[in-house]
Every structure is written in structure tokens, then in C-alpha cells.
A and B are shown apart, each in its own frame.
Chain A
Amino acid sequence: MDILTGFGQGLLVALEPVNLLYCFIGVFLGTFIGVLPGIGSMAAISMLLPLTFHLDPTAALVMIAGVYYGAEYGGSIASVLMNIPGTPSSSITCIDGYPMARDGRAGIALFASAVASFGGGLIGMVVMAVLAPALASLALNFGPTEYFAVILLGLVAASAVSNGSPVKGIAMVVAGLMLGTVGVDITTGAERFTMGIPEMRDGVHLVIVAMGLFGVGELIVSIRANAAGAHQNAIDYARFYPSRKEWKAMAGPVWRGAGIGSFFGALPGTGQTVASAVAYAVEKKLSPNRANFGKGAIEGVAVPEAANNSATQTAFIPTLTLGVPGSASMALVIGALMMYGIVPGPRLLVDHSDLFWGLVASFLIGNVLLLILNIPMIGLWVRLLQIPYRYMYPTIIVLICVGVYSVNNNVFDIWLTLAFGWAGYLMRLFRFEPAPFLIGFVLGPMMEEQLRRAMLLSRGDASVFLTRPISGTLIAATVLLLAWSLFAAMKARRAGRPALALSDE
């Protein structure tokens, strides 16, 4: 099936009223939660995941994708208005967005951010539509050895290129892999680490881990952060539309940002934050207006937003075609698909082409919705930001409780969420990143299965991972990446600064 036929078929799927409705709900709720300071797309997807359980897989995936990029866009609203990034990737938008707001140009900054997100999203969608089928057809030749190597590379990439210490990142991934073994072993039927609790036989539910680590954990952190004074300055929202000169200034940065974002989004482990930061740095070097960067340059808002949103779309390429998520949000997408019995990987495009192309087409519709939803609704988001946080966080915690309880109607799940919530807070206190833990947890069972299969097929010869060309290359890439990240961390430690303050959810 060629790309245009596939896209046409996808458009028909995405335009079905039910998918359109869930795309709208996803984008709206994602933006709503993403606007709240300190609560990112990860928490937004975790909180809303139970709502998708009653839907068919396509509608569920369309809604989750809508929540994802809605939350990413919502994050930039808090960045521009309050200098508090709603998501880690929108922290770059603060650099010029907030000075624009202080300068009385908040409306223009928000408009520029919406338009740049739209442009970036569209370019990311085209890149995904072109690249994903090519990568999937290559991956169709993969056996268990190659899959194991791809998963290993994905895990190392996601943990090593995270915030601070790569050793801690990898430790978190391994801890996540271990948690993934809890429950009944599907090969032998033996129970593992269930402590005799019947509810643990099926393992720990993804929603519980995600809601605990990200929903509850982030919320505990955000209470003090928001009480410390997330006060808004007096800002003039009267002017929304950029002048002709400003439109012209935005065009180049949107293209460049989208190009850089598409590239980084497709790489496992880097994601939107790295994409935004690199795009901003490149633009600052290229722009004729570079002197105004950091002081309220419209290019400084457009470029990270375009990069961020295009990376959001292309992050689906390795997730759907290889089954390897580049970030914790994508790990949740994989987990959600597996709940429906759909295994992400190269067969997805063959066996569920309507779902894949429906999702690609929904990106187009979702981005249009994001644009038409956000320009008239900027006032609503502004008012939402003015609601005191003391009313917001108790409401959010109750929504988490009800969301978790609704999965199985079982209070044991709430106790587990409490345990993971406390663990998530303690992880942050001990400076461990929870995101690699979740990626390890989602990929753990898959990795174990591929390892067992590969060992069985090679009659117990572990050297097969190195001798087969694709897996050997991937393992070599993993070792190089690991060595590079450890070297970078050591160099940074000597210089007295964090290794890479660029983590993604």
C-alpha cells in the first residue's frame, strides 16, 4: 500500500464521528492538564488512560495521541504566561515567551506558539507517514535476536540520555525490568514475586505504576512549588495577531525547528526536550535577530514549539514500527496498545494498517483542532491558570483515585498507587528519574520473551547476539552510546555541572 492510499484510508478512519470526538476530547483534556504548572504530558496520559479502556483501539490511540500533543501544547501556555514550564520540553519556550508576555505581547506569543506547533506537527506527520512504513518493512526481517538488541538499545538510549547520572538512569531501567517480572510467568505458569496476593497474579497494572509515579509523585512535588508563588504578572492579552513582519520572522524558524524536531523525535531516548534545545541553539546562531534572543524574540518562541511538536509526532515512528518507545509517554502508548492485544512492531502496519494510518491522519485533524481550539480559548486557559492551586490539587488527587478504582473496581489498586506515588516522590528526593523505570517496566516482559526465544533458537549460544549482523551492529551502537554517556557524565562532573539537563517524560 503506498503512502497516499494509506493516508486516504486513514483519513476516512480519523474522520469517523466517534474518532473525531475522541480526538477533540483528547486534545482538549490534554491541553487542560498540560496548562497546569508542573504537570506534564506523562501525568496527563496516566490520568486519562482509564477513560480509553472502554473505547475501540483506534479511538483509544487517537485520544491518547491527542492528550499527548495537547499536553505538550498546554505546557507552553504556562511557560509563556507564568515562566513555569508545564512540561520539561516547553522550558525552552520560557526563554523568549515570558519576556514577550512581560512586554505586553502575551497574546502574540501564544498565537505564535499555536501556529508554530501546528506547522511543526504537520511536518512531523509527513515525516512519520514517509519513514514509518520504510522502517517497518526493514524490521519485518527481525528475529528475536534483533528484537532483543533493539530493545536493549532503546532502553540504554532512554536511560543514558536522561537527567543527571546515566548510572542512576540505567539502574532505574533495570529496576523497571524487574518489576515487569512480577506475576505469572507466561511460559511456565509459575508465580513470581506475587507475595501470595491474588491481585498480583496478573502483574502490576501499567495505569497504577504510571498514575503513582507520575500522577501522585508529581503532585506531591507540585504542592510546595505552586504554593511558593506561581503568580502571574499583569499581562495584556488584547493583541493576538502577529504583524506581517512577525509572520515573516516566524516562517524560517518553523521549518528549521520542525526539521530538527522530526530528526530528534524519531531517535529513541532524546525526544522533545533535546529537540527544542538543539533547535533553539541552532536558530540563535542562524537568525539575523539573534541579539534579541532571550529578550522576547518571536523566533525564540516559534522554533522550540515547532521542534517540540514535530518531535511529538515522529516519536511514534520507533514506538509503532519497532515497538521500542523513545520516552516514557511512548511506553504508555505501547502499554495501552498491548492491553488491546495489539503488539507494536513491524507487523502493526500489516495487521492493523487502518489503526496506523488512522492515527497518522488523526495527527492532521488533531493539529487543526489544536489550532482552532486554542486561538479562541486562550482566554479560558488564562483563567484556568488563575484558579488557586489549593483548589486544583485536591481535585486532581481525587480524579486519580477514581481513575485507578475504575480500572478493576478494586481498592487494592489504590493501595498500590499509593505505594508507587510515595516511591515516585522518594525517587525524586533521591534524584532518580522515574521515566526510565516506566520504560523498563513496559519493555521488561517483551525483552524477557525475546531473550528466551533467541537462546532457544541458538541452542543456548549467547554469542548469537554479536555474530548476527543487525543485532551485532545494534549491540555495538548500545556499547558506544553507553560509553559516550558515561564519558559525558564524568566530564560534566569534573566541570561541576549536571551531565545533560535535558530529560523527557
Chain B
Amino acid sequence: MRDFLRRLRRSGETARPPHAWLGALGGLALLALSTVFVIGGLELGTGTPRRLGTGAFPVITGLALAILSLAVIAGDLRDSSEAERPDWISFAAIGAALAIFALSVGRIGLVPGVFLATVTASLPDPSLKFPGKAALGAVVALGCWGLFIGLIGLPFKPFAWN
């Protein structure tokens, strides 16, 4: 696992492609989004100029975004600068921390949910060993228990089996 992470981290340090492709990809994503809103808006009905229908605003904004995304794609394809270096490890770890919290807070309670989310979020940092990550998780979990349930009185269950 550690080797895999190290290799993944190193892969981000190699030469990067030009920003043009990434920028165009962003423009394409916006174009797809605008298509969804234009089609959805037309299905909802645009009404008349006097009484604009439910779908009128999504169609107007969708068409505007479609034109703008074409301009974005055209502009970015001419961009020869180096692309930003993505940090996929942090991207995945933070996403996983949120997902674990979402999956666990209702099922096993706030304290274990916070513990697991903290440990997961800390995974991208190799300078903190696993016992350190676990200790951090425990401190944050107990702190959240004290602060949110004890002090603020939010209606969370510290442990779901309570």
C-alpha cells in the first residue's frame, strides 16, 4: 500500500501535459451541463414572453452557457501553458473521509464516524505514522463529542448502540 502511494505520488511529479486538454475538458463538461438544462427546460415548457414558463430561465441560461463553453474550449485549446499538477491522493482521501462519515454517522454514531473520517483524511500525509493517525482520530472524536453534543447540545448520537 505504502509503495503504491509512493509511486502514485511520484507519478504526479513527472512532466505535465499542456493545460489546453484540461481546459477543453472543463469546457466540455459545461457544454454537457448546458445541454441537460436546455433539454430539461424545453420539456418543462418555456411559456410566453409575457408569462415565462418554468423552463424559460433554464433554457436561457443553458443556451448562454453553451455559447460560453464553446468560447472556453476555443480559448483553452490555444493555451500552451503547463497544466496544474493534480493531487489525486488528497482528492481521493478527502472524498473517502466524507463518504465514510456519511456512511457511518447514522449507523455507528458520531464518535466512531469522526474517528474513521479523521484517520481516512490523514492518510495522504506520510509523515504521520498509523498510531499517530489513530491518536489524532481519537482526540478529534472525543473533542467533537464534548463540543457538539456536550457543549452545544446538537441532537447527535455519540454511539448508535446507545
- The answer to whether A binds B is yes
Task: Give bound CA distance, A220 to B154, whole Å.
Answer: 28
Q: C-beta contact mask, B53-76 vs A, less than 8 Å → 1, else 0?
A: 111111001101100110110010
The residue that B37 contacts in the complex, of A187, A193, A394, A429, with Cβ under 8 A, is A193
Contacts of A140 in B (CB 8 A): none
CB closest residue in chain A, given B33: A175
Q: Which of A109-117, A362-370, A395-403 makes up part of the contact surface?
A: A395-403
Q: How large is the interface on A (under 10, 10 to 19, 20 to 34, 35 or more residues)?
A: 35 or more
Complex contact B117–A401 (CB within 8 A): yes
Contact partners of B65 in chain A: CB under 8 A:
171, 174-175, 178
| Inter-chain contact B33/A418, CB cutoff 8 Å | no
Which residue in B54, B117, B137 is a CB contact (below 8 Å) of A187? B54
B71 lies within 8 A of A393 (CB): no
Docked-complex contact A398 and B30, CB < 8 angstroms: no
- List residues of B (20-38) whose CB comes within 8 Å of A's CBs: 22-23, 25-26, 29-30, 33-34, 36-37
A421 interface contact, C-beta 8 A: yes
Q: Is B40 an interface residue (CB 8 A)?
A: yes
* Least distance between A467 CB and chain B CB atoms (Å): 16
Whether B102 pairs with A414 at a CB distance below 8 angstroms is yes
Asked if A246 is an interface residue, CB under 8 A from chain B, the answer is no
- Give the docked Cα–Cα distance between A398 and B100 (Å): 11
A223 touches B68 (CB 8 A): no
Q: Is the interface of B mostly helix, strand, loop or mixed?
A: helix
Contact A178 B58, CB 8 Å, known A167-B71, A422-B95: yes
Bin the interface of chain B by size.
35 or more
Return the contact of A414 from the options B52, B101, B155 (Cβ within 8 A).
B101
Question: Which partner residue on chain A sits nearest B24 by CB separation?
Answer: A430
* Chain A residues near B (Cβ < 8 Å): 165, 167-168, 170-171, 174-175, 177-178, 181, 185, 187-188, 190, 192-193, 216, 219-221, 223-224, 227, 388, 390-391, 393-395, 397-398, 400-402, 405-406, 409, 411, 414-415, 417-418, 421-422, 425-432, 444, 448, 451-452, 455-456, 459-462
Nearest 6 A/B pairs, CB to CB? A430-B26, A460-B49, A460-B50, A394-B121, A414-B102, A171-B68
23 residue pairs from A and B, CB less than 8 Å apart: A168-B72, A171-B68, A171-B71, A178-B37, A181-B57, A187-B54, A188-B54, A190-B54, A219-B94, A220-B87, A398-B140, A398-B144, A402-B144, A402-B148, A406-B154, A415-B98, A418-B102, A421-B98, A429-B84, A430-B23, A430-B29, A432-B26, A451-B57
